[in-house]
Structure 1
């Protein structure tokens, strides 16, 4: 009987340990991030509280980084003003926060080309199951290091304005 209780306890402990092996979800109680500015050409992203820079990050982009995303599969990262609109704590790229691409203008441009505008544009960490393939390896997302996305995930709220510049 004691062996069975011990075995069940050990299995429970291992099961719970397996649940806690995901990304760290940090807490943030500093100044509010009121906007994000992404300078694609410089590969620099800034988290701002009004005019003050709270944090700055280097990043990788899509495999075709120059120009505004127009259609699904073009490997480009959007340019323009969007919102952070969702969060994924179980992302295949450590953690991720979603950007509200496509907007109505993006859909109109793609429709005129007879194509889909695509979507699923995120700021995210590194791949969970493989290594990133050099610089500008995403399909149009903004990729930072895992420790950085943990910090960004904690600091940025849904509804935050993000401006992506060439």
Structure 2
């Protein structure tokens, strides 16, 4: 068995522990009206990024194909290092609130509503194939205009930086 010096162990703890702790204290807040994404650390703004949104950015997403970016509180459920949009962070849209509205509007079934709620309780990926739409990502390929189908777009350098920092489970709040 290899010997590990106390110094090496302490150095490893000093490097790794802040990374583990920082992931738990991170949050992403998106301000749609201002086209801004904030990375927050311990409740303070750590970094701000310019964003592009869906091609119909006003209002919350209510159905597949509406071109809107959702509003509400979600979490990162998937990290895709092989995205056609450089890198991407998949969001847990639709959430329970979206599903409740969709059920009331007749956009989704009771079974689909139950599946969304169950996925959120397990902190897994909700169904992305309902009438509410899905596969909402924070990704690269440019923030200069509102061009996505509902995703949040950053410049490539920015998504590379954010992707390296964010863990699955990170809370993402999207405000109007």
- 3-state DSSP of counterpart to 2:68: coil
- Using the alignment, how far apart are the partners of 1:107 and 1:51 within structure 2? 29
Q: TM-score, normalised by structure 2?
A: 0.71
Matched, 1:68 2:46: no
**1:107-139 CA deviation, whole Å, 9 max, x = no partner?**
23223333311000000001xxxxx69610000
Q: What is the match of residue 83 of structure 2?
A: 91
Matched, 1:162 2:154: no
- 3-state DSSP of counterpart to 1:148: helix
> When the two structures are aligned, how many residues end up with a matched partner?
134
Matched, 1:141 2:151: yes
Q: What is the match of residue 12 of structure 2?
A: none
Bigger radius of gyration: 1
Q: CA RMSD in A?
A: 2.0
Q: What is the match of residue 48 of structure 1?
A: 40
Q: Runs of 5+ in structure 2 lacking a partner?
A: 1-17, 108-130
The runs of 4+ residues in structure 1 deviating greater than 4 Å are 28-31
Q: TM-score, normalised by structure 1?
A: 0.75
Q: What is the match of residue 135 of structure 2?
A: 120
The alpha-carbon distance between structure 1 residues 105 and 93, as it changes in their structure 2 partners (threshold 3 A), is: same
Deviation (angstroms), 1:106: 1.1
